[in-house]
Amino acid sequence: MTEKCIVIENSLEHNSRGYGIGKFYVAKITGTHEKYGFERKFLNRETKYDSGSKTTWYSYKIRIKEDGLYELSESNAFKKEKCFFLVKDSIRIDDEEEIEKMKNAMV
């Protein structure tokens, strides 16, 4: 029997030079936090390196195996993306109304 999971891969390019340096994470929301808004459990990521030129490029992959509310944050020097999504029965749900219900239920 195959284990169900969702695989998230980053879409922004990250490298070792200042013009594209960035970060990528996915965190499971586990509750609320007085200072940061949400308590988070950051997930481990697989890192792939491409050193075909003078610049090292990074790409990341994260496997989500548990249901719950997650935060995805990805940024580089040019662009920043942040979103919340719900995983239920290994299906990703991006419906804003459903996500708001989940966030309000945690307060």
Q: 98 or 33: whose pLDDT is higher?
A: 33
* Phi, psi angle pair for 83, to nearest 5°: -155, 165
| CATH number of the domain encompassing residue 59 | 2.60.40
- Tell me if 99 is assigned to some domain: yes
- Tell me if 1 is assigned to some domain: no
Residues spanned by the domain of 98: 6-106
pTM: 0.74
Q: Is the pLDDT of residue 28 over 70?
A: yes
pLDDT score of 89:
72
Cα–Cα separations (whole angstroms), residue 53 to 49, 68, 80:
11, 40, 25
* Number of structural domains found in the chain: 1
pLDDT score of 85:
85
CA distance linking residue 10 with residue 83, whole number of Å: 13
- Tell me if 38 is assigned to some domain: yes
**Residue 70 in contact with residue 29, Cβ under 8 Å?**
yes
Residues in the chain, total: 107
**Per-residue pLDDT tens digits for 40-76:** 999 999 888 777 777 777 788 899 988 889 999 988 8
